[in-house]
Structure 1
Amino acid sequence: MVKKMQNLTVSIALTTYNGMPYLKDQLASLESQTKKPDEIVIYDDGSTDGSYELLRDFVDQSSIRVVLHRNLDNLGYNKNFAKALSIATGDIVFICDQDDTWHANKIEKVLSIFTKQPRTNLVIHDLDICDGTMNPIGEKKLERINLIGDPMDCYCTGMATAVRREFLSLCLSNYSPPVTYDNWLHKCAQLTSSKYILGVSLADYRRHANAATSKTLINSAKKVTWLDSFLHAARGSTLDYLKYEREKNTRSIEWLASNKKALHQKYHIDSDRIEKISKNISETNIIYDARINIVKSSGLKRVIKALTLYKNGGYTSFSGTKSLLKDIARL
């Protein structure tokens, strides 16, 4: 039986590491929600700048239940988030970074999607991109994705994501780096056709020099121009990217195989469909192997290999001509 919105419990999973310049604003935005969370789970990764002491004060003062932990050793953001997510108890778990701020209606808006769409397991919303001092640059995240021509279904930003806890537990049962935790959750949701992109901005996305993803064009604090978009498209494929995507696919096949029973019983995905999805992923990995071989080559040999793959339909499961050009861009 699907719970009504007012009956869904909410956890926020927040991780911190030397976030003193930003934490107060973020914590204030969590407390200002029109729909209050039932708990905030915080894992500090060994901060040395006073962040942990600020968090202890927050625990004492907040009207919300706060579960605060501190790692003795620095784990890095992937393992730290996995720990925070694994102990969250709410029906819906919201992922939270230390350096952004949430709009007051974020929880309320996202819960309405989970309520209206019971087969949706993961929701991601739009963002207002801001500079390091939280001045909006006049561009939203989904607009940015459109501008640079990336596939919309690849939109994956952890701090804009919320997931059903039951599904989250299933995803984390097979999770381990190097695949990033948010990439993994989104991949599992895509495999089960249960991801929902909400085209409403519900947070201010701070882009600053210390942010883990600030150097990429998709997350830049500067407004994207036509030239930026062109250079991004022409930059070329990298071995690291192709190997990462192949690894994510391999783990997806393993996840589907090890969770067949749960996927069938809870998410109505039968064995035939799992086999079909796994077969498609395996075929895609064969193409990834071919693309990796292409990018390792150089000069005319690289062009010939790429054109041969294109002629044989190898790029149809990617972005067609765009992917072809990326593979031969760096000769």
Structure 2
Amino acid sequence: MATYNGAQYIKEQLQSFVEQTRRPDELIITDDGSSDDTETIVRNFAKTAPFEVEFHRNEKNLGYCGNFNAALMKTTGDLVFLSDQDDVWFPKKIEHILSVAERYPEALLLMNDAMLTNSELEEVELTKIGQIRSAGMPLDKFVMGCCCAVRRELLELCLPIPAGFKAHDNWLVWFANGMGAKLVDDIVLQYYRRHETNQSQFIANRTTKVTRTRVFLHSVESLFRKDASQQSKDGIAQLKIFADGVQAVMDNSPGRYHQKLAELQAQTIQKISTEKARAEIRQKWFIPRVAASLRYFLRGGYRNTSGLTAVLRDIVG
């Protein structure tokens, strides 16, 4: 668990660990310099917890991804569950995921569904996977760290997460997806609390039903955001860091993973090439931009993008 000013909600999540039918062997918490009562709450909890609790306070603020990376680097278990500070697990979460892991030893990362709630933990009758499917998105878009359990084998392959990468769950899930080693169990095993300080603003995390139409309209609205150009640059930078990471993992991994990693590397490089080409199109004047977008479309350049929305994005500039 990575914490930062989590005093408002963390007690409920800690208690849900105690109420597990199969309790954790250890709980590793890294705190990113909280100024509230988070540390006091955790240390008081540790005094009576029926399992080992380690609390580590970072010497300097590492940010969201860096904080989770620090926590993951301190774990020792064969199967590591990631936890946010403001959710609540159902009692059979660990027991169920362990049984799935035993049945599918080839799965290096396992994910469960989560019930969306408001800040008061009141159900809104929607789940994360349900929202993704309603939006017409593939399960590749299911990248949610608090629903992940990760085998030691994957952690040893891809940790540490390099500085500059923004999301620990993207790092882990992108590797698992690319290696064909992600397993999604659509059993709901926890609450996912949505409130004003949540880090993720992904549309499928909304507490109102998401439809294909809403996703399209949201995508069109995003075309006109002032920071759209910077977001594109940031996206390319993240892909470059990931591509370098895949190469580093491939250089140090067992031979049985090389083919999948090479394919993942090639796919990532292709994504970078596509995004760079689209960025160049958006820099042109309007008429040449329209023409360039259409040429790129006819050459199949938008094949692995969001399709019409991507074309419109580039035409808008």
TM-score normalised by length of structure 2: 0.90
In the alignment, which residue of structure 2 is the partner of 1:113?
100
Task: State whether structure 2 residue 224 is matched by structure 1 residue 234.
Answer: no
Runs of 5+ unmatched residues, structure 2: none
Q: State the 1:183 CA deviation.
A: 0.6
How far apart are the structure 2 equivalents of 1:147 and 1:304?
A: 34
Stretches of structure 1 that go unaligned for 5 or more consecutive residues are 1-13
Q: Report what 1:156 is aligned to.
A: 143
Question: Residue 269 of structure 1: which of 254, 257, 267 is its match?
Answer: 257
- Between stretches 141-150 and 34-43, larger displacement belongs to 141-150
1:220 aligned onto 2:210: no
Q: Structure 1: which amino acid aligns with 2:169?
A: D
Say whether the 8 Å CA contact 1:148–1:233 is kept in structure 2: no
Q: Is the 8 Å Cα contact of residues 178 and 260 (structure 2) preserved in structure 1?
A: no
Q: 1:18 maps to which residue?
A: 5
**% identical aligned pairs:** 32
- Contact between 1:16 and 1:42, CA under 8 Å: does it hold in 2? yes
Structure-to-structure mapping, 1:277-292, within 5 angstroms: 277-292=264-279
- Farther off after superposition, 242-251 or 17-26: 242-251
Partner of residue 146, structure 1 = 133
Which segments of structure 1 move beyond 6 Å, counting only runs of 4 or more? none
Query: Does 2:88 match 1:98?
Result: no
Q: CA RMSD in A?
A: 2.2
Q: Are residues 326 and 145 of structure 1, via their aligned partners in 2, closer, same or farther at CA, if it must alter by over 3 Å?
A: farther
State which of 157, 168, 172 in structure 2 corresponds to 1:185. 172
Partner SS for 1:269: helix
Task: Report the residue type matching 2:182 in the other structure.
Answer: K
Are the equivalent residues in 2 in contact too, given 1:147–1:229 (CA < 8 A)?
A: no
Matching residue's letter, 1:256 = V
- Choose from 134, 152, 157 the match for 1:165: 152
1:247 pairs, out of 205, 221, 237, with 237
Cα offset, 1:96, TM superposition = 0.5
SS at match of 2:165: coil
Amino acid at match of 2:257: I
AA aligned opposite 1:187: W
Structure 2 residue identity aligned to 1:247: A
Does structure 2 conserve the Cα–Cα contact (< 8 Å) formed by 1:175 and 1:181? Answer: no
1:257 aligns with 2:251: no
Q: Aligned to 1:235, what secondary structure does the other structure show?
A: helix
> Residues 80 and 149 of structure 2 are in contact (CA less than 8 Å); yes or no, is this contact kept in structure 1?
yes
The whole-number CA distance in structure 1 between the counterparts of 2:147 and 2:281 is: 35
CA distance in structure 1 between the aligned counterparts of 2:285 and 2:193, rounded to whole angstroms: 39
The Cα shift of 1:155 comes to 1.1
Cα gap change, 1:119 to 1:91, in 2 (>3 Å)? same
The aligned counterpart of 1:55 is: 42
**Alignment partner of 1:40: what SS?**
strand
Whether the aligned pair in 1 keeps the contact of 2:179 and 2:264 (CA below 8 Å) is no
Change (3 A) 1:254 1:124: same
Q: Does the 8 Å contact 1:186/1:195 carry over to 2? A: yes
Partner of 1:200: 187
Counterpart amino acid of residue 263 in structure 1: S
**Superimposed CA distance per residue, residues 139-180 of structure 1 (whole angstroms, 9 cap, x where no aligned partner):** 111121123333321210111111012311221135323331
Report the 3-state secondary structure (helix = DSSP H, G, I; strand = E; otherwise coil) of the residue aligned with 2:120: coil
Q: Distance between the aligned counterparts of 1:92 and 1:163, measured in 2?
A: 6
Displacement of 1:274 in angstroms is 4.3
